[in-house]
């Protein structure tokens, strides 16, 4: 499981010219799955995401978590996080989990975030999405389990 975490002032996702998810201060997450990912991967990364100390404290030091700043999450499914571009010029997505399996893990991930009292907005799994982001910092971190 891979998550690209981006600290943001604002983020939104649009499908068919309609905004389906939008947040202000918080984290925009691109979330991808591969074979052998399980609930234990999800539990680990949910805890890591919500407690990652990447928000500034009163001294301008990244010392606060999403929980500390009462931030929100925009979670967007992203199978291309598992692109393999080592051969040729066209990436292979063979390592990405198939959609019929990944959707269950993606939904579980979002539900577990909500169980931690985090406001979560999402895109639409498998849809052609347009993502807008005002990255704060910019702070962008790749997490993997």
Is 109 an active-site residue? no
25-60, pLDDT tens digit by residue?
999 999 999 999 999 999 999 999 999 999 999 999
Using 50, 70 and 90 to split pLDDT, how confident is the model at 89?
very high
For residues 104-130, give the mean pLDDT. 97
Which residue among the candidates 79, 86, 122, 140 is catalytic per the annotation? 79
Quote the pLDDT of residue 33: 98
What sign for the dihedral angle of Cα 15, 20, 26, 29?
Answer: negative
State how far the Cα of 59 lies from the Cα of 51, in Å rounded to an integer.
19
60-69, pLDDT tens digit by residue?
999 999 999 9
Is 140 an active-site residue? no
Each domain of the chain, given as residue ranges in start order, spans 2-138
For residues 89-105, give the mean pLDDT. 96
* Residues contacting 119, CB < 8 A, separation 6+: 23, 26, 72, 73
Is 80 an active-site residue? yes
Q: Which of 15, 10, 19, 37 is nearest to 143 (CA)?
A: 37
CB 8 within 8 A of CB 140: no
Mean of per-residue pLDDT scores for the chain? 97
Which residue among the candidates 33, 34, 55, 78 is catalytic per the annotation? 78
5-16, pLDDT tens digit by residue?
999 999 999 999
How is residue 56 written in tokens? 């500034």
Helix ranges (DSSP H) in the chain: 39-51, 99-115
| Whether CATH 3.30.300.30 fits 2-138 | no
């Amino acid at each position: 499981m891979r998550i690209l975490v981006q600290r943001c002032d604002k983020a939104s996702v649009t499908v068919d010219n309609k905004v389906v998810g939008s947040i202000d201060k918080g984290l925009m997450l691109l979330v991808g799955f591969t074979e052998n990912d399980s609930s234990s991967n999800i539990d680990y990364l949910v805890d890591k995401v919500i407690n990652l100390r990447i928000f500034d404290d009163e001294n301008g030091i990244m010392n606060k978590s999403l929980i500390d700043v009462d931030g929100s999450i925009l979670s967007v499914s992203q199978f291309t996080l598992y692109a393999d571009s080592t051969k040729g010029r066209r990436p292979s997505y063979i390592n990405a989990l198939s959609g019929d399996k990944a959707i269950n893990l993606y939904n579980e991930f979002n539900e577990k975030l909500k169980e931690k009292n985090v406001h979560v907005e999402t895109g639409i799994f498998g849809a052609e999405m347009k993502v807008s982001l005002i990255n704060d910092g910019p702070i962008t971190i790749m997490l993997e389990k």
